[in-house]
Chain A
Amino acid sequence: MAKTARPLSPHLQIYSWKFTMLLSILHRATGIALAGGTLLLVYWLSAAASGAAAFADAQGIIGSWFGLLVLFGFSYALFFHLCNGIRHLFWDAGYGFDLGTAWASALVTIVVSAALTVIAWLAGISFMGGL
């Protein structure tokens, strides 16, 4: 591809930092993290398919403090990407572009994704060993 001396748009550090920019980059970061996290899902399913011993190993790894930490991060990334993804779908449909709404929906995304994470973990703890 020919390199021409076209003017470039300013780099990131030129713009003043805005709260909504954090959500923008977090959407991408959580997307990449979730793609990595799918390895864990496929491992878990494959372990279950290969037998009780392999599944017990997988449950042991996931149930360790490090496994739970990864799972907690995965769950928040999942809820964040879900909530912010819905925000993006509204934008795609042409709604919520004005500054006030974009700010409000950013705040709602942060709060709701945190709340859903807490609810999911409380539900998980209350169901623990129930099956």
Chain B
Amino acid sequence: MSAVKNPMRSALGRVRHLGSAKEGVQHWWAQRLTALALVPLILWFVASLAYLAGADHAGFTGWLARPYNALLMIVLLAAGFHHAQLGLQVVIEDYVHREGCKLALLIVVKFAALLLALAGIFAVLKIAFGA
């Protein structure tokens, strides 16, 4: 019966009554969602960089302190670093085959991405709140 309903399930899976945990596409989906968000964000970011070319400190902080610029920069940092660490994870898993080395690299990449994202967001908030 279940074989008819779900022909993709393996024989072993049917015997053990183990089905999908519904999380198999989580990584893939998060990569695509962040990619989709990054399309307009990157266009905004590059246009802003061109606009800000040669800006002095007052000019740049004045621009970044505007609420919509601060908000978009924070969203860019969050989506960008999430996308980057998901992508780097796949690269490491593809090319690094020694378990210990792979695990160490994955941990470094994930921690570094979080730390850098938070550092960037902290800098934006500091400028936005004028501290």
Instruction: State yes or no: do A and B come from one complex.
Output: yes
**Residues of A that sit less than 8 Å from B by CB:** 1, 28, 31-32, 34-35, 38-39, 41-42, 45-46, 48-49, 51-52, 55-56, 59, 63, 75, 78-79, 82, 85-86, 88-89, 92, 116, 120-121, 123-125, 127-131
The A contact surface, by secondary structure, is helix
Per the bound structure, the CA–CA distance linking A42 and B88 in Å amounts to 18
Per the bound structure, the CA–CA distance linking A28 and B86 in Å amounts to 12
13 A-B contact pairs sorted by A residue (CB < 8 Å): A35-B84, A38-B84, A49-B124, A51-B57, A52-B58, A82-B43, A88-B35, A89-B32, A124-B50, A125-B53, A127-B52, A127-B53, A130-B54
Confirm or deny: B106 has a beta carbon within 8 angstroms of a beta carbon on chain A.
Answer: no
A1 nearest CB neighbor, chain B only: B99
Q: Are B91 and A31 within 8 A (Cβ)?
A: yes
A-B residue pairs, 4 tightest by C-beta: A49-B123, A123-B50, A52-B57, A45-B123
Q: Which residues of B contact A86 (CB under 8 A)?
A: 39
Q: Are B91 and A82 within 8 A (Cβ)?
A: no
Q: Are B35 and A89 within 8 A (Cβ)?
A: yes
Kindly identify which residue among A49, A56, A128 contacts B127, using a CB–CB cutoff of 8 Å. A49
Q: Are B126 and A49 within 8 A (Cβ)?
A: yes
Using an 8 Å CB-CB cutoff, how does the interface string of B71-102 with A read, 1 for contact, 0 for none?
00100010011001101100100000001000
**A120, chain B: closest CB distance, angstroms:** 5
The B contact surface, by secondary structure, is helix
Q: Which residues of B contact A92 (CB under 8 A)?
A: 32
Q: Which residues of B contact A127 (CB under 8 A)?
A: 50-54
Q: Which residues of B contact A89 (CB under 8 A)?
A: 32, 35-36
Kindly identify which residue among A32, A34, A88, A124 contacts B53, using a CB–CB cutoff of 8 Å. A124
Q: Which residues of A contact B126 (CB under 8 A)?
A: 49
Per the bound structure, the CA–CA distance linking A26 and B73 in Å amounts to 26
Q: Which residues of A contact B127 (CB under 8 A)?
A: 45, 48-49
Q: Which residues of B contact A125 (CB under 8 A)?
A: 53
**A129, chain B: closest CB distance, angstroms:** 4
Q: Which residues of A contact B52 (CB under 8 A)?
A: 127, 131
